[in-house]
Structure 1
Amino acid sequence: MRIAITPSVLFKLCCSKSFSKNIIAPLKSYQAAGIFHPKSSPHATFNLFAYINSKLIHHQPYYFHRATQAFLAPSQTLSPLSLHSDLEEALDSANNTEELLTAFKALEASLNKDDERLGLACLKVGDILHSKASKNLEKALGFAVRALEILGRNDGEGSLPLVKALRLVGSISCRIKRFNESLESLETAYQILGSLEEEGFNGKEFNSERISIQLEFANTKNLMGQRWEALLNLRRALQIRMQILEPDSMELGLACKDVAEACAGVLEFGEALPLCLKALEIFEAKLGENCEEMVQIRQLLGAIHVGLGENEEALTQNEFCRAILLSLNMECELLNIEIEAANIQINLGRFGEAMSNLKAVIQKTGKESEARVLAFVSMAKVLFFQERFGDSKGCLDMSCDILNKLELISSEKVAETFLEISMLYEMMNEFETAISLMKRTLALLEKIPQEQHLLGSVFARMGWLLLFTGRVQHAVPSLESAVTKLKSSFGPKHFGLGFAYKHLGQAYLEMEKIQSAIQMLLLAKDIIEASFGPQHEDSIDTCQHIANAYGVMGSYDMAMEFQQHVIDRWEMHAPDAKDELREAIRLLQQLKKKVAGSPSAVFPAHCLPESLLK
């Protein structure tokens, strides 16, 4: 049973800062832009130094929108009051945009401009236009905003339709890349839903909106490159679905797959695995084993196993995929699966098997195909690990030649492949070539908002290379950009962000920005220790840099405290780290001499005279 919102509650909502900011302000901006014409016409005039191959994770630009559509049947998208039955039927039966607008004008002429039924009709027309085609988006937005204005003025039980209007505005704004307006509309809808829930509102339609709002949040944030934030919304939507859906429903299976995919996208493989297995169980029960959908879910499961370092399990999933694709005669898809198999075999050190598979793939590909590029890159990896560096570079050169012709066709995959090639050049100490390719990758990724996570990884890696090759001034802006992008994409505690903080701290230390260096290094220490443990070499190295920074600043008590941490941790590695332990003890002794005022004391190590360092 629907619960009406009293005039006092609606007044409270309308007078809130959020409502004013998120509804009234966007209305004015849309009007100023000429999109909304309330009287005459509604027409419009989102160091990852351990690189995970994102080609194994199949993000679709609007897969959250697909999930929304799967949850809401067309008949559930609106809940209009009693419109004029014949005119409502005309809206429903319209075969094209012209008929729809003609039916709406007839309805509009029969109603007062503030009639809630007119608002609901605007909402219905906007929703239909939104679902038809991208060319109708501005018209759809005009109707959605008009619905929002009418429904926002009315009291009674109009609050759930108001939520729907806000969601529609948010969805359309997202598709036309007005992401901030999208988030503002969705946030207001979310607040209204919270007020309704406090009033005791419940039921199927209400839960549909709760889920839809979370999915639209996720879609917008994903397209802004905010994958971590998008994942939080996907989790909330999944929690609601788990409460109201049958445990073996296909819809729940799709939701588990989407959340598993999003988890893998931010490298949360441990969380992704059980969700993907749940989706696999449902898919298999509902669809059977031999279908394209099962290939997708098993391919995702394989990528998750790779992320967890479980390469044998990944290879098993790959074999399932190959068998299904062979039975379905899907030759193009099979080539990509065979390349993935070769990459897993490389991870397992089975270089001969990988090379045989890749040679077979190359024989089946066209001279300027994407599959051929990927096969050459994987072949370069094999040759690198076999220490055939000249041959490896030859494969990479051929890959780049093809990519130069594909660059305008598939910029996302081209960018990912350039990044992979650059890392191979880096491993071969071809630093200038690696940096050049990273710059090309950045130029491509900067045009793709949803690839901000990859942009952050490239900035981090390039910043580290610039720092390593002595170009500190150039490294700092790259590392600062990496910190911003990685935090947005992966959250505040991800290991890749920890490495970016560490290298930025090192750069600040070299530039004698000691306070900034200590701040970055302490942040890095917390993240890296949480990710890898305090005995990990990167954790110890970070502690050493912190000790160095405090020593340079003259805070010898703090320097000695962190230097002692370094000694204690290297002792845990004995006898394999005897040289590192001896150096750490020597540095602590130098610190003690500093405190005692000895003029011969030298700390940190890089303060030694150049002649002695040699």
Structure 2
Amino acid sequence: MRRASSLLSSLRELRGRCSTKHPVSIISLAFHSDLGDPSPQPCRSYHGLLYKRRTQQLLRNPSRSLDTLVQNDPPLSSRQSKIKEKNDLDEAFESATTMEEMVSAFKAMESVFDENDKRLGLACLKMGQCLDSAGEDHESTLVYAVKALRILEAHDDGDGDTKSAVSLAMALHLMGSVHYGLKRFNESLGYLNRANRILGTLENDSCGFDVRPISHAVQLLLANTKTAMGRREEALDNLRKSLELKELLLEPNSRELGVAYREVAEAYSAVLRFKEALPLGLKALEVHMEQLGQNSVEVAHDRRLLGVVYCGLEEHQKAFEQNELAQKVLKNWGMSLDLLNAEVDAANIQIALGKFEEAINTLRGVVQQTDKDSETRALVFISMAKALSNQEKFADSKRCCEIACGIFEKKESLAPSKVAEAYSEIAMLYETMNEFEIAISLLKRSLALLEKIPQEQHAEASTSGRIGWLLLLTGKVPQAIPYLEGAVERLKESFGPKHFGVGYIYNNLGAAYMELDRPHSAAQMFALAKDIMDVALGPHHADSIEACQNLANAYGAMGSYKLAMEFQQRVIDAWESHGPSASDEVREAERLLFQLQKKAMTESGNCGESLPLPQSGEAISGKCLDLGLSK
């Protein structure tokens, strides 16, 4: 999976086109049936959401005006006057169409209403939602959100009042959104989980009110929050749920639904889950071609994404075909920057196909159209270095790497995530040229940038694991262990303890302990690696067999020959399942088994001694390469 870094570079550029700095507001989702416009909506769109649209008094009594009294009407009592004043203030707040009008009407309400009045709580909610939609003044928004939550919580007594429960869920969503904007992700997650539980109960109870638009917004913000916390695997679940809700809310095959399919496909591609990304990407293309025609910009973006996905699936010819079709559309629309990036993608696909000279010619054409210090120019030189390295023109390749690094150094503060990714990809090129010290140095620079970006925790884990692996490769074993241990913890937080990447790290950490003559610790690591890989990859996968072989070696080094021979026999059986193509591996595994049998006979006193295997998923104190990107 050496090409994963360049794939993700293309994907990041694709995602940058349509990402928003602020999570989509619940309001614009809940009360706009097309769900298609993520921009902040006018405040008047919030009325229905707050359940405050009441029949005008004028409609109840057409002969009476709201602002005047018939001369013959009896005078109002003090209590009636108070009620009328509150109703008038409430109506004035309802009819406000600008933020200035809303603020003025709200201040008037505050001076008259009791501080625990539910209508004041709903007004606070509306104010907070409107400010949150603008996404600028988080502290002011938080003031309204806190007050709304306090009041609406007091009025929700759990007696099955649907309106109260929905209002409380919206207040909790607002609190989650504000804390997300303030980068207080743990607090945001707490409020959103609570909102999700309330909405789930309402859905299960068939409350008679369609809470799906609100549930969609909560799921989407849960996905954003978990992504920001580095919990990518969980975020994908919420993102998938938000898509399922969108499928129910939107018209079938609408343009907006096509965009949603593509965005979820991009999210799967970002974590290298290309099999799940492919059907979603194809669905997006199908929808947009039907709605907009094959020459639309949306179709071009869909095809570029499919190019990335097909590359990830090693179907490079299909990737190249999609890329060529995308380029034709982008050229017709005069989208020069997108077109240049698509041409760089095409060169990377040509490299994957072994067409190095064609790739170099493509890149030479692109570089002439780029600015001296542009990011696109730097990406061109990275791809050029890749093609030259494959031709074993290492001096020229290194020069291209140096130029790219020089450009990206100037952008560290502006785009740390992109620069970190670029350093990682350049480091991979130095690895292929056996320049391990330079590669380690670049990876450390990448890690320093990633450590400041919570949502890049998965990339931080992979980078830390690669540093540990290279240090292990160059004989610096004690230095490698902290990087490997840090990597496994971060990767487990991002993808869970059973992700195949965690298995790779445990495997490498076990190798490090073997180098330090600590076979007991190594056996624990190898056992955990095997447990994960058997599930994630299957027991007959080459990497799973390697973990089993390592475990047999560790038990052999400990003198626990009975267990060592048991696992060595499993290695033989697994390789035999590959048929004639694995005959060399079978012979080697049988040779190692014969050696173990000889040792067991000469040291028969140790044959019965064994170290208990860790149970599946057992926690260990010695926490342990890579998400698989360097494999």
TM-score per shorter chain, which class? 0.7 to 0.9
Q: Please give the residue correspondences for 1:307-386 in structure 2 after superposition, counting only pairs within 5 Å.
A: 307-386=312-391
Amino acid in structure 1 at the alignment position of 2:169? V
CA shift digits 1:103-140 (9 cap, x unpaired): 21112223111111000000000001111241x11111
Structure-1 residue corresponding to 2:140: 139
Residue 260 (structure 2) pairs with residue 255 (structure 1): yes
Match of 1:84 in 2: 87
1:54 has 2:8 as partner: yes
8 Å CA contact retained: 2:26, 2:214: no
Please point out which of 188, 193, 203 is paired with 1:187.
193
| Whole-angstrom distance in 1 between the partners of 2:25 and 2:471 | 43
Counterpart Cα distance in 2 of 1:468 and 1:544: 19
Greater mean alpha carbon deviation, residues 436-445 or residues 486-495: 486-495
Shift of 1:271: 1.3
Q: 2:271 — aligned with what?
A: 266
1:95 to 94, 98, 106: 98
1:120 to 2:122 alignment: yes
> After alignment, is 78-87 or 392-401 more displaced?
78-87
Following superposition, the deviation at residue 66 of structure 1 comes to 3.7
Superposition CA RMSD, Å: 2.6
1 CA distance for matches of 2:332 and 2:450?
37
Question: Per-residue displacement from partner, 1:388-445 (whole Å, max 9, x unpaired)?
Answer: 1111111111111222222222221111111000000011110000000000000111
Amino acid at match of 1:470: G
Correspondences of 1:443-592 after superposition (within 5 Å): 443-571=448-576, 580-592=585-597
Q: 1:320 to 1:333 in 2, by over 3 A?
A: same
The corresponding residue for 2:72 is none
Distance 2:26 2:281 in 1: 19
Aligned position for 1:22:
none
What is the TM-score normalised by the length of structure 2?
0.82
The runs of 5 or more residues in structure 1 that have no matched partner are 1-46, 603-614
Alpha-carbon distance change, 69 to 359 in structure 1, aligned in 2, over 3 angstroms:
farther
Read off the aligned partner of 1:122 and give its amino acid letter: C
TM-score under structure 1 normalisation?
A: 0.84
Higher mean C-alpha displacement, 415-424 vs 489-498: 489-498
Residues 469 and 574 of structure 1, relative CA distance in 2, 3 Å threshold = farther
Structure 1 residue 291 and structure 2 residue 249: aligned?
Answer: no
Structure 1 pair 346–64 and aligned structure 2 pair: CA distance change class (3 A): farther
Aligned to 2:150: 149
Q: 1:130 aligns with which of 125, 129, 132?
A: 132
> How big is each residue's C-alpha offset from its partner over 1:60-114, in whole Å with a ceiling of 9 and x where there is no partner?
5648834856633353672233583554444653534x54322211122231111
2:219 corresponds to which of 199, 214, 218: 214
> Helix, strand or coil: the match of 2:198?
helix
Whether 2:106 is the aligned partner of 1:104: answer yes
Whether the 8 Å contact between 1:227 and 1:265 is mirrored in structure 2 is no
- Once residues 478 and 486 of structure 1 are traced to their aligned partners in structure 2, the CA distance between those partners, rounded to angstroms, is 12
Aligned with 1:223 (options 225, 228, 244): 228
Cα deviation 1:528-576 (Å, max 9, x = unaligned)? 3445544443232211110011122332211101111223344456766
Which position in structure 2 is the counterpart of 1:441?
A: 446
Taking only the aligned residue pairs, the percentage that are identical comes to 49
Structure 2 residue runs without a partner (length 5+): 33-40, 55-85, 608-631
Cα distance in 2 for residues equivalent to 1:600 and 1:423: 48
One-letter amino acid matched to 1:124: K
Q: Which deviates more from structure 2 when the two are superposed, residues 586-595 or residues 383-392?
A: 586-595
Number of residue pairs the alignment of both structures matches: 553
Q: Is the 8 A contact 1:529 1:539 kept in 2?
A: yes
Are the structure 2 counterparts of residues 64 and 321 from structure 1 closer, same or farther at C-alpha, using a change threshold of 3 Å?
Answer: farther
CA distance in 2, matches of 1:537, 1:198: 46
Q: 1:177 aligns with which of 183, 199, 205?
A: 183
Q: Which moved more, 1:462-471 or 1:523-532?
A: 523-532
CA distance in 2, matches of 1:194, 1:222: 22
- Tell me the secondary structure at the aligned position of residue 158 of structure 1: helix
> Structure 1 residues 48 and 179 mapped into 2: Cα distance closer, same or farther (>3 Å)?
farther
Mapping of 1:189-208 within 5 angstroms? 189-204=195-210, 206-208=211-213
Distance 1:571 1:288, change over 3 A: closer
| Candidates 25, 29, 38, aligned match of 1:71 | 29
Q: Which amino acid aligns with 2:379?
A: L
For each residue in 1:22-61, what CA deviation from the matched residue of structure 2 results, as whole angstroms up to 9, or x when unmatched? Answer: xxxxxxxxxxxxxxxxxxxxxxxxx989546212223456
Opposite residue 130 of structure 1, the aligned amino acid is D
Q: Relative to structure 2, which stretch is displaced further, 306-315 or 246-255?
A: 246-255
Partner SS state of residue 504, structure 2: helix
CA–CA separation in structure 2 for the residues paired with 1:79 and 1:208: 14
1:591 and 1:601 in contact (8 A); partners too: no
Aligned 8 A contact 2:303 2:322 in 1: yes
